Amino acid sequence: MVLITLEGIDGSGKSTLFASLQRALSDLSPVFTREPGATWIGDQVRRAIADEVDPVTEALLFAADHAAHLDTVIRPALASGRTVISDRYTDSRYAYQWATLEGVLPDPLTWLRQVHDGWTIPPDHTLLLVLPVEVALSRKKDAGKKEHFEEASLLARVQENYLRLAGEEPARFVVADAEMKEGELASFAEGVIREWCESSRSRRRR
């Protein structure tokens, strides 16, 4: 029972990686899940993003989706001893909403942490995909209408925030170069996740 999260800016290739991990790690039978969107609240969050609600409302909606996600997916899966792999999780809020709440609240990260305090489950391990923002945006450019998150200056701040979070907790984060070829990145990620699962099993045996 280990909680693993995948993080990275829009266009980092996270969703493609997530899909190949679903195939590559099927022997471990993990629960694959995502934020936003694992619950009906996630659908409302997507609507709110599309409508561009104010940043505090948006942050609280993402947090509400997280609470429902914990209740309906994460806690039951961990309680039954399953490994959970989530495409985005709390660090998405810390990185994105830290950026969108800059200038709105005096200390967005502290506020975001307080909002989660006492009920969230921190991830055991996080794989963070990092790449130049221009490369990420060029991958997204043909993908239809842009969400407001997909602006170069915002994504640059979000990625900086992710790296600050990773710097605070080097034992939890592995930072991967998302410019690697798709197959190379997938086998790198598979190897790292298998090691995390193995070390959690051997800790439990001790």
Give which of 2, 1, 18, 34 is closest to 178, Cα–Cα: 18
Measured from the CB atom, is 47 or 201 closer to ligand TYD?
Answer: 47
Write the single-letter amino acid at 66.
H
CA pair distance 64, 53, nearest whole angstrom: 15
Query: In the range 126-165, which residues lie near ligand TYD by CB under 6 A?
Result: 147, 149
Cβ-based nearer residue to ligand TYD, 91 or 195:
91
| Helix or strand run (H / E) with residue 167 | helix 152-168
Report if residue 69 touches ligand TYD, rule: CB under 6 A: no
Least Cβ distance, residue 174 to ligand TYD (angstroms): 18
For 160, which DSSP code?
A: H
For position 7 contacting ligand TYD by CB under 6 A, the verdict is no
Minimum distance, C-beta of residue 79 to ligand TYD, in the bound complex (Å): 23
d(CA 120, CA 77): 15
Are 137 and 185 within 8 A, CB to CB?
A: no
d(CA 71, CA 82): 15
Residue 89 beta carbon to ligand TYD: minimum distance, rounded to whole angstroms? 7
Amino acid making up residue 152: A
From residue 9 to residue 28, the character string flagging contacts with ligand TYD as x (rule: CB under 6 A) and all else as - is -x---xx-------------
Judged by CB under 6 A, does residue 43 bind ligand TYD?
A: no
Q: Are the CB atoms for 65 and 42 separated by under 8 Å?
A: yes
Closest chain position to ligand TYD (CB) = 96
Q: Does 35 participate in binding ligand TYD (rule CB under 6 A)? A: yes
Contact residues toward ligand TYD (CB under 6 A) are 10, 14-15, 35-36, 49, 62, 88, 92-93, 96-97, 147, 149
